[in-house]
Amino acid sequence: MQTYDKVDDNIDADKKREYWNVAFGLQEVDGLKPSKYMEALAENHVDGKKSYYEVSEEIDRYYISEKPSLRNRDEREADVVSKAIYAILSDEAFSFDLLTYKNYHKRLFEKLDANIFHPGEFRKVNITKKEPILDGDTVRYQDYGLLEDSLNYDFNEEKNIDYLKMTDAEKLHRLSEFTSRIWQVHPFMEGNTRTTAVFIEKYLRSLGYKVDNEMFEKHSRYFRDALVRANYANLPKNIAKTDEFLVKFFENLLLGSNHSLNENLHI
């Protein structure tokens, strides 16, 4: 028996479209795109022709009936994760804690291959990931034996930050730092950037920020590359960690700044 997220379909059409656009845009961090069928279903949802439940049910049936192929696997991942992101973004509920962070990962990937994504579970091995902007080198992620301790430390420290005593610039640097640190831990086998992006958006909204979702919709790849640059150093090549690109993203995201995010972050 299939289960589906409970979603309020009474929000206005513009907000529905915004959440779907973010959900689709975030797939770009892994070079994925939603299927044309998913895009059409989302449009029907925005127009009020279908409920979220109907969209979710139809896309699940669609992939049961389709013959597997590499392209379909990629599109299925994008479609399934997109509808889960929509459900999370459209829900006002939020709790700033590690359980919520893990739960978001589970909700995003629980209908995909558990042997690849291990939904809601921390990895039990150390990993590397070849990054194109690092010429195939990798960020050094946290040791798997320290994942929970590291995240608990980061979350507890963030809870004790007094943002009221900070300037706007200090707030953005701190929010960028927190985002960068939990991403660097990379606690899940796959799906870390999308999970982090969704969690951070919900967190920012809980702090009262009006988030410019066009940033996640159109510049999600820049967001990932900025996280990479914030966590990569190579002294023999004279490369130091820098949060300048991530701060630019956050300034656009939260303050309406107009930094160009089309620059190449290749080292």
Mean pLDDT of 238-261: 96
- Looking at every residue in the chain, the average pLDDT score rounds to 95
The end-to-end CA distance of the chain, in Å, is 49
Indicate the pTM of the whole model. 0.96
Q: Please tell me the distance from the alpha carbon of residue 3 to that of residue 147, in angstroms, as a whole number.
A: 30
Going by pLDDT thresholds of 50, 70 and 90, the confidence category of residue 1 is very low
Torsion of CA 21, 24, 28, 30, to 10 degrees: 150
Going by pLDDT thresholds of 50, 70 and 90, the confidence category of residue 67 is low
Tell whether the model's pLDDT for residue 84 goes beyond 60.
yes
Could you tell me if 228 and 139 are in contact, meaning their C-beta atoms sit under 8 angstroms apart?
yes
Q: Please tell me the distance from the alpha carbon of residue 18 to that of residue 25, in angstroms, as a whole number.
A: 10
Pick the CATH number of 94-267 from 1.10.3290.10, 3.40.50.300, 1.10.2020.10, 3.40.50.150: 1.10.3290.10
Domain regions of the chain by residue span: 1-93, 94-267
pLDDT (tens digit per residue) in 87-124: 999 999 999 999 999 999 999 999 999 999 999 999 99
Residues 6+ apart with CB under 8 A from 105: 119, 120, 188, 191, 195
Q: Please tell me the distance from the alpha carbon of residue 12 to that of residue 9, in angstroms, as a whole number.
A: 8
